[in-house]
Chains A and B, each alone.
Chain A
Amino acid sequence: MFRVAIEMLLHDKTKYLGLLIGVAFTAFLVSFAMSYFAGFMTRGFALVSENPSAKVWVMDSAVSSAEATINMSNSSLGIVKGVKGVEYASPLYLGDMTARYANGHFQSFQAIGVDDATLSGAPKPANLLRIPNSVIIDSGGTDGKLQTPIHKKDMWAYNGSHLNAVTRELRYGDEMLINSKRVVVAGVSHTIPRFPPRPLLYTSTSNFKRLIPGEKRYITFIMVRPAKNITPEKLAKRISKETGLKAITSAAFKKETVMWYLINSEDVGDMVNMVVLAMLVGFGVTGVMLYMFTYENIKQYAVLKAMGASIKQLTDMIYTQVFIMAVVGSGIGVGISALFGEAISSASFPFRIMWFAPFIGFLGVFIVSLTAAFISLRPIKTMEPGIVFKL
């Protein structure tokens, strides 16, 4: 009967292709949306990804993401360094800065202050930050926000701002004003784009203090590298216990950050809604198509039942058909989404295939297919095989 089921499925090539495209499209939509979303979320914890040697992150106990932060006391670094098993600990300081460009435009940055001694956390070559008053800037996933005028006459003009001046990208040697203090662009980096996108400004903590003097506390995170004989998990626990600060592994911190976005960010909420909506629409369409396919063949099932085919045999036939559709269709859909996604993945288009994207793509298609099969069994179970004479 499997053979009969398969022949039935493949008989009408157009219909089969239509069904296949429907299923593939759903799987595509779902895994693509998930990967797209995963891409965004990956950018949400870019700061953590960009410091791979920091296996443990220490922060104020109230902080639960790399996005919304509050600073710790300046003594916390020494305390953390004193915990046994800490091989290496360096501070990161996050803050906001607004810079004035030479033509009078301004731009706000997320400022990342790194330890003066080690410069760890700064993009390579970090040594550029040893130049006095220097910063390294980064588009952080934005477009056209790091611009300075081409012509000398438009720079720091005595007659005010030249807002309509022709501009070019900022580069090494350009100058900006922050808090009326001069800074030099020592380099332009291209680290992981951020979510939400925003320009970044890396500088040494001492330069940070010079630019924004009012602050009392200059440590947002402490990045810790564990000694060889201790796992990050154990060390994190030990630091929390001994210091009262929050210490978690980088993996856990990434997860927390994603959770934080899911709960707190309206943008992410909208995105999730869209993804869910797309999934529901795709699933709905697929389900209806599969149902219609079975329903159209109901005469044939009636004939088979009249000739002695049991409900179980008919059920098996339908599940066979749906199973084949689901496997082939979702395979194609997930495959295309991977190829397509990798092809268009870029700074402005995050795409990251994590295990759950194809998984949910497959799973979703299977659930929908089985549901559709299950529903389409109803008319088959309830049909009077007597209708065979009326066909």
Chain B
Amino acid sequence: MSKIIASCKNIVKTFNAGEAEVKALQGITLDVYENELLMLVGPSGCGKTTFVSVLSGLLHFESGSCKLLQKDIATMDDVTLTAFRGENIGFVFQAFNLLPSLSAIDNVALPLTIKGVQRAEALTRAQEMLNAVGLNAKEHIKPSGLSGGEQQRVAIARALVHNPKFIICDEPTSSLDHKSGQIVMELLTKIIQEKGASMIVVTHDNRIYKYANRIVHMEDGKITKVAL
């Protein structure tokens, strides 16, 4: 068995939406291994997004424990956690979430800029990543000038530019047509093979199941099935 990158035990998360309590996560236990592409699937509202938010240290949880790269994220303060995220995690969002004011290359360079990497070096590395996702000619174009598929490829380049150990993708293909979705998934699988990283992909899209090493099914805040 390969090395465990992330380890969650009995995670419970409840939202207080006004009067009502929503039990979004009701005891999730899951390990994520090195170099695996894990897919998280399940009906809408079952808690997939909530789970990856907790796992990446974006959302606090009530009970259970969550270790990422041997670090207990529950005990980190906000500053440490933020820095930890910047160092080790890459994100790909359904809505791309590129900064509209920045060109493709500046968007890709952002994680490096945040870490304080020199601009020249950041741009060189960003350019390499853009080449890797096949957008070498579009580095100076702003997001509004790119197609959805291209924007998501920029987002992938951004998620990977700082060589994170762990990549989290929430519905990376569901804003895209079938063909762009396939391109995005092939890029993601190729890159984790080359760079060696673990990836969780939340998805509804069963046409991309074939890229998964493992598929975890969730329902009502619980894991119901793990399929290989």
Contact = CB atoms under 8 A, between A and B. Distances in A.
Nearest to A7: B101
A303 B85 contact: no
Contacts of A300: 99-100
Interface residues of A, number: 27
A389 B170 contact: yes
A61 B12 CA distance: 82
A339 interface: no
Contacts of A308: 82-87, 111, 114-115
Contacts of B113: 1, 3-4
Given A305-B82, A308-B82, A385 B58 contact: yes
Contacts of B56: 306
A55 to B, nearest CB: 60
B226 interface: no
B79 A310 contact: yes
Interface string A294-321: 0000011001111111110100000000
Q: Max chain A CB contacts within 10 Å: which of B59, B85, B97, B111?
A: B97
A12 B87 CA distance: 31
A17 to B, nearest CB: 15
A313 B49 CA distance: 26
B30 interface: no
A300 B101 CA distance: 10
Given A304-B114, A308-B82, A384 B58 contact: yes
A310 B116 CA distance: 12
The main secondary structure of chain A at its interface with chain B is helix
B166 interface: no
A306 B101 contact: no
Contact of A304 (B83, B100, B106, B110): B110
B114 A1 contact: yes
A10 interface: yes
A307 B114 contact: yes
A303 B99 contact: yes
A389 B106 CA distance: 22
A8 B111 contact: no
Contacts of A12: 101
B101 A386 contact: no
Interface in A1-45: 1, 3-4, 7-8, 10-12
Contact of A388 (B82, B93, B100, B106): B93
A386 B86 contact: no
Interface in B33-68: 49, 52-53, 56, 58-60
Given A304-B110, A384-B59, A310 B82 contact: yes
A131 interface: no
Contacts of B69: none
Contact of A389 (B53, B82, B83, B85): B53
B106 A7 contact: yes
Contacts of B87: 308
A306 B99 CA distance: 13
B86 A388 contact: no
B95 interface: yes
A94 B58 CA distance: 78
A386 B53 contact: yes
A299 B58 contact: no
Given A304-B110, A308-B82, A310-B79, A10 B53 contact: no
Contact of B91 (A1, A299, A307, A384): A307
Contacts of B78: 311
Contacts of A385: 58, 82
Contact of B102 (A7, A299, A311): A7
Interface string B109-149: 01101110001000000000000000000000000000000
A11 B101 contact: yes
B110 A306 contact: no
B42 to A, nearest CB: 15
Contacts of A306: 56, 58, 85, 91
A64 to B, nearest CB: 58
18 contacts: A4-B113, A10-B101, A11-B100, A299-B97, A300-B100, A303-B97, A304-B114, A306-B58, A306-B91, A307-B91, A307-B114, A308-B111, A308-B114, A310-B79, A384-B58, A389-B170, A391-B93, A391-B95
Given A306-B91, A385-B58, A389-B93, 6 more contacts: A3-B113, A3-B119, A304-B99, A304-B110, A304-B114, A384-B58
Task: Across the A-B interface, give the 3 residue pairs with the lowest CB-CB distance, nearest first.
Answer: A308-B86, A11-B101, A386-B59
Interface of A: 1, 3-4, 7-8, 10-12, 299-300, 303-311, 313, 384-386, 388-391
